[in-house]
């Protein structure tokens, strides 16, 4: 069943179709687009840390453009590669970490909005966000598609851009705090949901015994008659060499 994010993505694709076509015609590397988007996101994290929350929100809105077009350009130019998917996923982790780290620094150094508890929430948000991506990647390595959960990356990007771009530090920063708490709680819920999903998917495998097949090794050499009798209480030479 399509999610609201899917409808938003389809609408966004219609709007930015001319830009996607232009990049595809010029054979622009999708990896370069991914890199540019990550650099813009890291810049948004730095702006969050400086306390210009509304400006950072608008910068984050630009990064959504890069998140959409890199995959589309890769498909249209026939440059969908395994490394490209790995590179995109790796830089997504850099971007997620930069955003939450910027907000952590904001609550640590801002003289007006300094808040120890929000620092802790941001740090928990970083861990939860990384768990969300790790659990899915690890599940895929087991052949399981664990794309489940209440909060995935597109939703996180929307919540870290639109409310901040529109409201900034409205209501003395309570809107921003509510968004961060929501992101942190839902990230941990999503991680637990994926753990439970993989557990259910693999539960029937746990009851089956694992059979290990090994290739038959070469036959041991036939023993040769000893030319001398072994000494009493002694140890064979080969055994002594292994001791």
Tokens of 170: 């409205």
Residue 138 gets which letter from DSSP? H
Check: CB of residue 36 under 8 Å from CB of residue 89: no
Residue 171 gets which letter from DSSP? G
- Give the separation between CA 100 and CA 103, rounded to whole angstroms: 5
Check: CB of residue 179 under 8 Å from CB of residue 163: yes
**Would you tell me how many other CB atoms lie within 10 Å of the CB of residue 153?**
17
Q: What is the secondary structure of 20-60 as a DSSP string? A: HHHHHHTT--HHHHHHHHHHHHHHHHHHHHHT-HHHHHHHH
Q: Determine the longest span between alpha carbons in the chain, in angstroms.
A: 97
> Among 70, 88, 92, 96, which one carries the catalytic annotation?
92
Tokens of 87: 């590179």
Residue 34 gets which letter from DSSP? H
Collapse the DSSP code of 68 into the 3-class scheme (helix H, G, I; strand E, B; otherwise coil) and give the result: helix
Of 125, 42, 30, the residue nearest 81 (C-alpha): 30
Check: CB of residue 140 under 8 Å from CB of residue 196: no
Is position 92 annotated as part of the catalytic site?
Answer: yes
- Give the separation between CA 243 and CA 239, rounded to whole angstroms: 6
Q: What positions carry a catalytic annotation?
A: 92
């Amino acid at each position: 069943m399509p999610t609201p994010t899917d409808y938003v993505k389809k609408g966004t694709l219609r709007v930015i179709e001319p830009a996607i076509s232009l990049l595809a015609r010029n054979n622009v590397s999708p990896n370069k687009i991914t890199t540019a988007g990550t650099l813009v996101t890291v810049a948004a994290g730095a702006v969050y840390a400086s306390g210009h929350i509304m400006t950072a929100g608008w910068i984050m809105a630009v990064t959504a453009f890069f998140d959409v077009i890199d995959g589309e350009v890769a498909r249209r130019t026939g440059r969908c590669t395994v490394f490209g998917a790995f590179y995109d996923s790796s830089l997504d982790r850099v971007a997620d970490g930069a955003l939450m780290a910027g907000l952590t620094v904001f609550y640590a150094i801002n003289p007006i909005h300094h808040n120890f508890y929000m620092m802790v929430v941001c740090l928990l948000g970083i861990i939860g966000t990384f768990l969300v991506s790790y659990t899915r990647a690890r599940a895929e390595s087991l052949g399981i598609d664990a794309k489940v959960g209440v909060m995935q990356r597109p939703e996180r990007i929307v919540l870290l851009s639109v409310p901040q771009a529109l409201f900034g530090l409205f209501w003395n920063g309570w809107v921003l705090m509510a968004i961060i708490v929501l992101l942190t709680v839902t990230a941990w819920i999503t991680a637990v949901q994926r753990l439970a999903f993989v557990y259910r998917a693999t539960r029937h495998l746990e009851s089956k015994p694992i059979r290990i097949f090994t290739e038959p090794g070469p036959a041991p050499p036939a023993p040769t008659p000893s030319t001398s009798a072994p000494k009493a209480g002694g140890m064979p030479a080969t055994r002594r060499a292994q001791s």
